[in-house]
Amino acid sequence: MPRICLAPLAGVNIVTVREFFTELGADFTHTEMISCEGLARNNPKTFEMLQISEFESPLIIQVFAQNDDVLTRGVESLLRFLDTSANHEKFFGLGINMACPMPKVTKNGSGAALLRKPDIAVKMVESVRKFGIPVWVKIRKLENSRDTLELVGKILSAGASNICIHGRTQAQRYSGIADKKIILEAVRNFGGEKISASGDVWLIDDVEEYVSYGCECVMIARGAIANPWLFCEIRGVEKSRAEKLADILRLAERTKNLLGEHKALVTLKKFSLSLMRGFEGGADLRDKICKCREYDEAVKILRGEN
């Protein structure tokens, strides 16, 4: 069976969330997208995103940059930091994001903007091969399959260890339906050990469909927020609502202790909503939790104490 991992999610994949999904059964996780510009400039806020814990599974550190020069300088700074923080062993791959469609990322030529600049994309992969780290690249489908497969071939030839394909175009962003068949075409052309799948992974059936294609890894993104326990279900483990509640409360408390109450409240709101689906009175609870301004208040509501 291929590996099942937590995909990179901006604003979500903080250290405690990665720990949470490791506990639930993710084979590995991703950091949030980290700016190579910020790394190269030694921006303290950028390095805060590199907090790594002993409780995480192996992870891929995902970065974004607009060209090979910025990427190289950022990765050099990243590796110096990892060497001094004794976290080198927890990180097994460098992820280059060429998939994010959001204007704040693409406006300077990063993320999905690189899909229109294959020569630059190739140079970026070539530039970091010298560090001896497996390079994982995430892309989106281009307007047609032929162009997508041509880009995949170029990136693999440049030395990428794996390419994750999201079956939506840049223009689609996160709307519409992901084209899963483009992953099957890529596997047939390049072999499954080099291809990972992303897009519309909400149910076990979605995971199994990608697995049937023979890809190396299935990355779960928004589906992991909608149902964090999908990772458990894939492993054949069913949890009761009480057990799920306990999981969420542990995540929230760990986040509070490590990152503060504000971050804990945001995290608790984000993941507790998945508990309310199909639950009698869930809509009312959802509304109450979303309106909470204090961490302790939200915890009491979840525990049924308020």
User: What does pTM read for this prediction?
Assistant: 0.93
Asked whether the CA dihedral 9, 182, 127, 70 is positive or negative, the reply is negative
Amino acid at position 84, single letter: T
Which pLDDT tens digit goes with each residue over 109-119?
Answer: 999 999 999 99
- 45 DSSP assignment: H
Asked whether the CA dihedral 225, 230, 231, 232 is positive or negative, the reply is positive
Residues of the chain with pLDDT under 50: none
Cα(153)–Cα(155) distance, rounded to whole angstroms?
6
User: 32 with 62: CB under 8 angstroms?
Assistant: yes
Closest CA to 295 of 233, 241, 227, 248: 248
At residue 48, the pLDDT reads 92
Helix axes 118-129, 145-157, angle to 10 degrees: 30
At residue 276, the pLDDT reads 80
- 219 DSSP assignment: E
Report strand pairing: 59-64 vs 29-30.
Answer: parallel
Q: Which residues of 72-110 are buried (b: 16+ CB within 10 A; e: fewer)?
A: bbbbebbbebbeeeebeebbebbbbbbbbbeeebbeebb
Q: Could you give the dihedral angle defined by the CA atoms of residues 224, 227, 229 and 230, in that order, rounded to the nearest 10 degrees?
A: -70
Cα(152)–Cα(138) distance, rounded to whole angstroms?
10
Cα(8)–Cα(105) distance, rounded to whole angstroms?
14
Q: Which residue has the tokens 């794996």?
A: 162
At residue 137, the pLDDT reads 98
Query: Would you state the structure tokens that stand for residue 74, as one six-digit string?
Result: 């950022």
At residue 182, the pLDDT reads 97
